Chains A and B, each alone.
Chain A
Amino acid sequence: DAKTTQPPSMDCAEGRAANLPCNHSTISGNEYVYWYRQIHSQGPQYIIHGLKNNETNEMASLIITEDRKSSTLILPHATLRDTAVYYCIVNTGKLIFGQGTTLQVKP
């Protein structure tokens, strides 16, 4: 079973920041948090991952709380092409996908 909890859906206005929360209260000390997204029925696309420090790359930022029990994925300037299902996953040695958050970016 997935070790994460995410809201089922969110809306975001185009050009604004999208903040996607994730709870992973049972995460262990050496387990990484990964974020993927799936656009339509394409293969999942890697976004970012982290252990305990905040991370940033060209796609997004990942903010992990100090107790590591939750994290937030930030898409700084959402576009219509960011509409997708976003999955927050704790890597326990294999990636187990939950239901994810369906992000709808609106014009």
Chain B
Amino acid sequence: NAGVMQNPRHLVRRRGQEARLRCSPMKGHSHVYWYRQLPEEGLKFMVYLQKENIIDESGMPKERFSAEFPKEGPSILRIQQVVRGDSAAYFCASSPPGRGFYGYTFGSGTRLTVV
């Protein structure tokens, strides 16, 4: 019974490159949430997706960031033209259909370092 799987665990990118972070939700979970945690700070909500739909992207930066959750395959958080300030831990969570009654299950995160 695998939990939420995120990969890669660590990602190093040079400034200006693209970063792709993947999240496979728990089996039976159709809702995915992305959070960002800057060093020494709390978790910030970024985006909430269901299969093929973005439900709430109120926490997403207006530029360079995008997210998708296709019908097949993992959810992808994409950061274009990365800058040093994008260095952070990115966590994905998933929940069953509904309003998250059972809470979210979080993955172990992807640590992005921009050099």
Binding site for B on A (CB under 8 A): 32, 34, 38, 41-46, 49, 87, 91, 93-100
Contact = CB atoms under 8 A, between A and B. Distances in A.
B89 A41 contact: yes
Interface stretch (B13-21, B40-48, B69-77, B78-86): B40-48
A46 B109 CA distance: 15
Nearest to A31: B99
B109 A95 contact: no
Interface of B: 4, 33, 35, 37, 42-45, 48, 56, 89, 91, 93, 99-101, 103-109, 111
A100 B4 CA distance: 23
B99 A95 contact: no
Most buried by B among A34, A44, A49: A44
Contact of B101 (A32, A42, A45, A100): A32
Nearest to A93: B99
Contacts of A95: 33, 45, 93, 100, 104
Contacts of B107: 43
A43 B109 contact: yes
A32 to B, nearest CB: 7
A44 B106 contact: yes
A43 B106 CA distance: 6
Given A41-B89, A44-B91, A94 B105 contact: no
9 contacts: A32-B101, A38-B43, A41-B109, A43-B107, A43-B109, A44-B43, A46-B104, A91-B99, A94-B45
A45 B4 CA distance: 12
Contacts of A49: 103
Given A43-B91, A99-B42, A100-B42, A94 B33 contact: yes
